[in-house]
Amino acid sequence: MAKPIPTNMTGGLNDLLGFQLVEWHSGYAVLEVELDDRHKNRQGGLHGGIIATMIDAVTGYCGIYEPDPSRRRGNVTVSLNINFINRPKGSLLRATAELIRAGRRLYFASARVTDDQGTLVATAEAVYAYVEKQPKTGSAVS
């Protein structure tokens, strides 16, 4: 696994699942995760929700990069279309996202998920709406 990039956007589900942001610049982001037992479904294989969550996170990051963290915008998912192609054969997943187009209110991104053996696991397209960032409070849900 590559060395994680320090950000002020830590915590929550990404940390719980072990996702690491390893590359992030304008219009591009890469997340990695070492697979373990917490990522398995009832049959012992990788849970598809892990792939979906990873794609949602990485496509979310690619559209909001800003070198000055105080100027970073928030976002919410409008749509997420995922094609599950293969089971991973390796123990590390890598999700790569690219910004396709950004407007004033919406942005469009695409993603690919591969494993450490080069297997294409999934592809996706996503649409996000930019939102004003909310101040952090003590409640996880408001």
4 is a domain residue = no
DSSP state letters, the chain: -PPPPP-S---HHHHHHT-EEEEEETTEEEEEEE--GGGB-TTSSB-HHHHHHHHHHHHHHHTS--SSGGGPPEEEEEEEEEEE-----SSEEEEEEEEEEE-SSEEEEEEEEEETT--EEEEEEEEEEEEPPPPP-S-S--
Query: According to the model, what pLDDT value does residue 71 have?
Result: 84
138 is a domain residue = no
Write the pLDDT tens digit of every residue in 30-75.
Answer: 999 998 888 888 998 889 999 999 999 999 999 999 888 888 889 9
CATH at residue 103 = 3.10.129.10
39 is a domain residue = yes
Query: According to the model, what pLDDT value does residue 77 have?
Result: 97
6 is a domain residue = no
Mean pLDDT of 5-12: 63
Write out the residue range of the structural domain in which residue 37 sits.
Answer: 12-131
72 is a domain residue = yes
- How many domains, the chain? 1
